[in-house]
């Protein structure tokens, strides 16, 4: 039961009055928030804790929340020591616990596409409670709570009386990391998962292998990583590493969707599996170079069946990303066996050969009870797709602008993910986050039914020029612009207000030990090395 609050500031959409006021810097911005301008509660770092409400359907023993309850006091208060004796100010009540109430009696086990992330926060003298439908929603609410707390000049931790009703606009809010072009150490991936959770991202798209290297340790085909990685000792993800990533993500409400991109982007696969790739020809003889996966051999599909059986069991998410982008046809063109096969099948173009391969692969993956996401070319090339396929739009202009592609794919009835305007590996001088922020995913021709097929999007960080030395500053806070676009209401578009909150959030990231780059001129109370 909530008491009627004396709320002067109703921030929906964010009012200019919020500019600069402590207690209203949440990133991404909640769906509905009202913050009292003059009433607050005090928290003491030594006393404050999180508690399962007696009415909660989930009780102690749920690792997702047990661990969050341990993690968040550290995030909120830092390691201490806390300089001033924390006494409430005048008119402040001390609150020693946040009650957490989850409605559904389930502790996961894994977040899914359809997991409900709604939560409400009610903070005042009478109620100090976080209510959520699921544990995943409770995690989102804990993150918001952590961002509401501020420190007065006297060093008091305070939180204004606040009411928040919040839920995501899109269910799929992802970040892609590329661990093939440069290897990213396990710690870097885990740190990124932490910062993703601060931004309410809920999908880690792991573009784990590609042409340059194959760092995934395969149980079934150990030669893949032995021969295909940069270094089979130091530059691989062991089975244990992969499990660690999946569990770390799970505890933060993040799904891990692995991408094993074929038939292109597979040069590193060929080293460990002789005969898998198409031999390219120079005239009448093999040139010694290799092209995409060889689609005409039965043993190719035997390999794929065993390999994806392993992948389907290692990665618990319903979806696998099967890639399918940028298949280079020149090698297929040069190879006489491929020519003969195409003649026999009556394929008059290479898209048909590609489709032949992809269809067989999709059947294999479906037979393991998995769903799949594919890059847009698979759709563009008219591959027969299962109706529940998700198509991932990445091309900015070619062959058509992404808005047109979104229209075409949804018109055909497929669900779609947007990444085209969100390639964060591309950088330019100045505040390029604004362009990222201004993107409206539903800004294309199309019926409401079509728009409903847009399930979200992903920020992408391709690895040609990115490794552990520059990943974090290049990602944050820029990826935050995508996070807010995918979480917050469509009406949250004011770049000026976003600038204030994102600047504050970036300082908060520094305080939390994340080396996030600045948006523009200024300073933070806690600079990076002071955290």
Ligand X SMILES: *[C@@H]1O[C@H](CO)[C@@H](O)[C@H](O)[C@H]1NC(C)=O
305 interacts with ligand X by CB under 6 A? no
Cα–Cα–Cα angle for 350, 354, 357, rounded to 5 degrees: 145
Binding mask 250-269 for ligand X (x = CB under 6 A): --------------------
* Count of residues that bind ligand X according to CB under 6 A: 18
Neighbours of 39 (CB within 10 A): 19
57 interacts with ligand X by CB under 6 A? no
CA distances from 230 to 94, 109, 127, 149, 182 (A): 55, 34, 55, 45, 9
38 interacts with ligand X by CB under 6 A? yes
Range in contact with ligand X (rule: CB under 6 A) among 1-9, 170-178, 185-193, 377-385: 1-9
* CB-based contact 160:84 (threshold 8 Å): no
What letters, b where the CB count within 10 A reaches 16 and e where it falls short, cover 285-320? eeeeebbbbbbbeeebbebbbebbeebbebbebbbb
Binding mask 218-247 for ligand X (x = CB under 6 A): ------------------------------
Residue closer to ligand X, measured from CB, 152 or 515? 152
116 interacts with ligand X by CB under 6 A? yes
Range in contact with ligand X (rule: CB under 6 A) among 14-22, 174-182, 419-427, 502-510: 14-22
Range in contact with ligand X (rule: CB under 6 A) among 18-26, 283-291, 340-348, 451-459: 18-26
Binding mask 284-303 for ligand X (x = CB under 6 A): --------------x-----
Q: Which residue is nearest to ligand X (CB)?
A: 6
Residues serving a catalytic function are: 326
- Find the binder of ligand X among 6, 155, 222, 430 (CB under 6 A): 6
Q: How far is the CB of 268 from ligand X (least distance, A)?
A: 26
* CB-based contact 197:253 (threshold 8 Å): yes
CA distance 10 to 43: 24
40 interacts with ligand X by CB under 6 A? yes
DSSP 26-38: -SSPPSEEEEEEE
Q: How far is the CB of 132 from ligand X (least distance, A)?
A: 9
Beta-strand (E) ranges in 109-156? 119-123, 128-132, 150-151
DSSP 287-316: EEEEEEE-TT-HHHHHHHHHHHHHHHHH--
Q: How far is the CB of 367 from ligand X (least distance, A)?
A: 15
* CB-based contact 514:191 (threshold 8 Å): yes
CA distance 43 to 49: 9
473 interacts with ligand X by CB under 6 A? no
Cα–Cα–Cα angle for 269, 113, 163, rounded to 5 degrees: 135
Q: How far is the CB of 277 from ligand X (least distance, A)?
A: 18
37 interacts with ligand X by CB under 6 A? yes
Residue closer to ligand X, measured from CB, 160 or 218? 160
520 interacts with ligand X by CB under 6 A? no
Q: How far is the CB of 332 from ligand X (least distance, A)?
A: 18
CA distance 54 to 65: 15
User: Which class for 382: exposed (0-12), middle (13-18), buried (19 or more C-beta within 10 A)?
Assistant: exposed
Residue closer to ligand X, measured from CB, 5 or 461? 5
* CB-based contact 163:122 (threshold 8 Å): yes
88 interacts with ligand X by CB under 6 A? no
- Find the binder of ligand X among 160, 262, 266, 425 (CB under 6 A): 160
CA distance 69 to 181: 37
Pairing of strands 454-461, 255-259: unpaired
Residue closer to ligand X, measured from CB, 38 or 349? 38
120 interacts with ligand X by CB under 6 A? no
- Find the binder of ligand X among 12, 15, 22, 314 (CB under 6 A): 22
How far does CA 521 lie from the centroid of its chain? 29
12 interacts with ligand X by CB under 6 A? no
Range in contact with ligand X (rule: CB under 6 A) among 34-42, 179-187, 252-260, 334-342: 34-42
What is the phi/psi pair of residue 94, to 5°? -85, 130
Question: Which runs of consecutive H residues, i.e. helices, occur in 368-470?
Answer: 376-380, 402-411, 433-438, 448-451
8 interacts with ligand X by CB under 6 A? yes
192 interacts with ligand X by CB under 6 A? no
82 interacts with ligand X by CB under 6 A? no
Residue closer to ligand X, measured from CB, 118 or 472? 118
Residue closer to ligand X, measured from CB, 141 or 323? 141
**Contacting positions for ligand X (CB under 6 A):** 6, 8-9, 18, 21-24, 35, 37-38, 40, 116, 118, 133, 160, 167, 298
């Amino acid at each position: 039961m909530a008491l009627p609050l004396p709320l002067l500031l109703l921030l929906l959409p964010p009012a200019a009055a919020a500019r600069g006021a402590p207690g209203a810097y949440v990133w991404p911005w909640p769906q509905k928030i009202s913050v009292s301008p003059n009433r607050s509660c005090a928290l003491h770092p030594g006393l404050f804790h999180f508690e399962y409400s007696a009415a909660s359907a989930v009780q102690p023993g749920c690792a997702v929340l047990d661990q969050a309850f341990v993690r968040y006091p550290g995030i909120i208060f830092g390691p201490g020591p806390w300089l001033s004796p924390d006494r409430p100010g005048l008119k402040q009540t001390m609150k020693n616990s946040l009650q957490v109430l989850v409605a559904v009696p389930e502790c996961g086990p894994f977040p899914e596409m359809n997991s409900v992330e709604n939560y409400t926060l009610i903070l005042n003298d009478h109620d100090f409670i976080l209510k959520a439908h699921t544990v995943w929603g409770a995690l989102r609410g804990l993150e918001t709570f952590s961002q509401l707390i501020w420190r007065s000049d006297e060093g008091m931790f305070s939180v204004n009386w606040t009411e928040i009703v919040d839920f995501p606009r899109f269910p799929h809010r992802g970040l892609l990391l590329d661990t093939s072009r440069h290897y990213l150490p396990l710690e870097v991936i885990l740190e990124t998962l932490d910062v993703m959770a601060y931004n309410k991202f809920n999908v880690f798209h792991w573009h784990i292998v590609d042409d340059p290297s194959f760092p995934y340790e395969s149980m079934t085909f150990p030669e893949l990583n032995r021969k295909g990685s940069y270094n089979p000792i130091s530059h691989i993800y062991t089975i244990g590493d992969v499990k660690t990533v999946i569990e770390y993500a799970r505890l933060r409400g993040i799904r891990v969707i692995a991408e094993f991109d074929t038939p292109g982007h597979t040069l590193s696969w060929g080293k460990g599996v002789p005969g898998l790739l198409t031999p390219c020809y120079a005239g009448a003889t093999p040139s010694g170079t290799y092209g995409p996966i060889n689609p005409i051999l039965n043993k190719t599909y035997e390999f794929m069946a065993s390999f994806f059986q392993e992948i389907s069991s290692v990665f618990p998410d319903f979806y696998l990303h099967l890639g399918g982008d940028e298949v280079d046809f020149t090698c297929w063109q040069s190879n006489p066996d491929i020519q003969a096969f195409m003649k026999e099948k009556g394929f008059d173009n290479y898209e048909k050969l590609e489709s032949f391969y992809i269809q067989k692969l999709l059947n294999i993956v479906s037979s393991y009870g998995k769903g799949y996401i594919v890059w847009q070319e698979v759709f563009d090339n008219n591959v027969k797709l299962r109706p529940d396929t998700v198509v991932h739009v990445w091309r900015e202009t070619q062959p058509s602008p992404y808005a047109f592609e979104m229209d075409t794919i949804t018109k055909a009835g497929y669900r779609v993910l947007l990444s085209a305007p969100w390639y964060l590996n591309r950088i330019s001088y100045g505040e390029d986050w604004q362009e990222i922020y201004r993107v409206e995913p539903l800004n294309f021709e199309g019926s409401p039914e079509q728009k409903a097929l847009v399930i979200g999007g992903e920020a992408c960080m391709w690895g040609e020029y990115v490794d552990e030395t520059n990943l974090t500053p290049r990602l944050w806070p820029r990826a935050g612009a995508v996070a807010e676009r995918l979480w917050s209401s469509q009406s949250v578009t004011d770049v000026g207000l976003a600038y204030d909150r994102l600047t504050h959030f970036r300082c908060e990231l520094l305080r939390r030990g994340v080396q996030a780059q600045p948006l523009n001129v200024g300073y933070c109370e806690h600079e990076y090395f002071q955290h």
